[in-house]
Amino acid sequence: MSKKTAKASPATQAFLLQLIQPYRLPLLGGSLLMVVSAGAMLALPQYLKHMFDTALKTGDTTQLATLAGYMFATILVLVLSIFLRTRLIAFSSNYMLANLRNRLSAHLLGQDVTFFETRSSGEIVSRLTADAYTLREFLVLAAPQLVRGVFLGVGTLVALLYTSPSLAAILLLACAPIGFAGKFLGEKIRVIAKKQQDNIAAYATQVEETVANIRTINAFSQQPRLMQRFLAQTEEITRIGNYRSILASAFVATNVIIGFSALIGVVWLGGLRVMAGTMTLGDMMAFLLYLGFAADAASNVTNFWPAWQGTLGATERVIALLGQQPAITSPQHPVALKPVGKGRAIKLKNLTYTYPLRPETPALHTINLTIPAGANVAVVGPSGAGKSTLFRLLLRFDDPTTGSVQLDGTDIKTVALDNLRNQFALVSQESPLFTGTVADNVAFSNISAPESVIWAALRAANAESFVKDLPNGIHTHVGEKGVQLSGGQKQRIAIARAILADAPVLLLDEATAHLDSESEAAIQKSLAALSKGRTTVTIAHRLSTVKSADIILVLNHGKIEASGTHDQLLKSSKLYSALATVQLA
């Protein structure tokens, strides 16, 4: 690794300064308290020197008591300054960590859907947890220790030179190899620390996927294979962690060898001088105490270097995440859609969409379509025909490669994203629930809805009866991802959520796919009443759910192959007729 990569880039320095800027006053106060504590420590050997050279030598008990009192008062100052310093820095670092995580969370919520589809959840979680915490630990531990080490080290060096310049020179000779070892091993630790964090992120992703898909894993008896993956990942994490520990241990061992060699030399030469009468016993005792302080200060400074390397890696990853800008954003000067009661007209004009990773095959090709306000439109076709892509473009999860999507004649690119998406209520084939209660999940689309309105939405979604049977009704916790409910129950909760949104346009991606026949019939009646007057677009995998649609679009290979009513398409579309023969026979 080059020396250049071990240094903080201007962007990294600016980010760290920006991070601590709101807390500069308490951090400055903590630094001043470090000066106080360092001064208190430096005073203690002088009291000890005078005890040995004056009070004990002359037998002056009054002076001995006075010096002991001074030492006790100095220790109180030392303890109080350490307590206040630790509190100031720890509190500031905790607030910094909270604000950084809030900033990262807000940034993530502002990303487009593609951002999450192209990254593992473990990687994202690692940025918010491990990397953010690394920065906090740096501010609360490594950086304060460096400041303390510098203050204490400078003061100790002055005291050592004052007490015995020749003995102090021995210590200075030991600093060069310690500094070299810190720089050399620190650079290696930085590389290893980054690799370790990347492996931990991959492990977190594997854990999340395993928990989310545990039923599938059990159904196919794949626990041994998954266990092998875990073993391989933990083995790699352990291997890297051990290597990092070896480097850190080598660094500590180097410091100990050099430090104790210097100590032995100092004790030997100092002892000779005391015996020769050229140095007092008090000076020798004070020098040894200062030597201990110097070792403490050197440890603070040298331990900072490996921590700094890990912090640089974490900071670079956080900066990279914050630097990721969404491809889909609200316009700077958005156009407000005019309020409507129910229904909006939808128009797709010369619309073509190509996935970035598959530019040679358009998912949708030259689509021209007008859906009148209040119309009930169904989209059918084989898997991969582009049905789900159509919904992504309507919700502006993606933008068309060419052409436009319009609502009531307004290009949706000119509309603020929140305003645009408030025009739609989406029920997907797999509608996720959030950790919380039934009421929390239903009211997700309208957080101010009172309980009476929530119950009305549940009633309309044919969910009232089973919710009443739950232990705490709408206040029953559904578990992570709704694990406490059946698939059909979760889907009805999702439909109630869409009902409560009261949006002009309904997007239904086979919303009744997980329901039994009786529940499906009841839901279809509820959806029919709900969609009355609203523009409804339904992706249909089962033709039985869309036979009554005003218009059925047959999508195939990214193009509208045919359109019409159910009866018309049975006669005019071979694909639709074939689908109907298979499904409705």
What are the tens digits of pLDDT across the range 323-343? Answer: 888 888 999 999 999 888 778
Of the candidates 424, 428, 546, 426, the one whose C-alpha atom is nearest the C-alpha of residue 487 is: 428
pLDDT tens, residue by residue, 463-477: 888 999 999 999 998
Of the candidates 346, 397, 409, 389, the one whose C-alpha atom is nearest the C-alpha of residue 535 is: 346
Question: Into which CATH architecture does domain 346-584 fall?
Answer: 3-Layer(aba) Sandwich (3.40)
| Angstrom distance (rounded) from CA 427 to CA 425 | 7
Does the pLDDT value for residue 3 go beyond 50? no
Does the pLDDT value for residue 39 go beyond 50? yes
Give the SS3 label for residue 351: strand
List of residues 6+ apart from 252 with CB closer than 8 A = none
| Per-residue confidence band for 62, with pLDDT thresholds at 50, 70 and 90 | confident
Higher pLDDT, 13 or 25: 25
Least confident of 2-11, 84-93, 162-171, 248-257: 2-11
| Angstrom distance (rounded) from CA 362 to CA 359 | 7
Averaged pLDDT for residues 131-151: 83
Mean pLDDT taken over the chain: 84
Fold identical between 10-322 and 346-584? no
- Domain residue ranges in the chain: 10-322, 346-584
| Angstrom distance (rounded) from CA 236 to CA 21 | 38
Q: What pLDDT, on the 0 to 100 scale, is given for residue 54?
A: 83
Angle at 79 between CA 75 and CA 84, to 5 degrees: 145
460 token code pair: 């309309």
Q: Are strands 376-380 and 402-407 parallel, antiparallel or unpaired?
A: unpaired
| Per-residue confidence band for 157, with pLDDT thresholds at 50, 70 and 90 | confident
| Per-residue confidence band for 514, with pLDDT thresholds at 50, 70 and 90 | low
Averaged pLDDT for residues 334-354: 90
| Per-residue confidence band for 1, with pLDDT thresholds at 50, 70 and 90 | very low
Class of domain 10-322: mainly alpha
The answer to whether 519 touches 526, Cβ cutoff 8 Å, is: no
Kindly report the pTM of this predicted structure: 0.72
Does the pLDDT value for residue 415 go beyond 60? yes
| Per-residue confidence band for 2, with pLDDT thresholds at 50, 70 and 90 | very low
Higher pLDDT, 442 or 484: 442
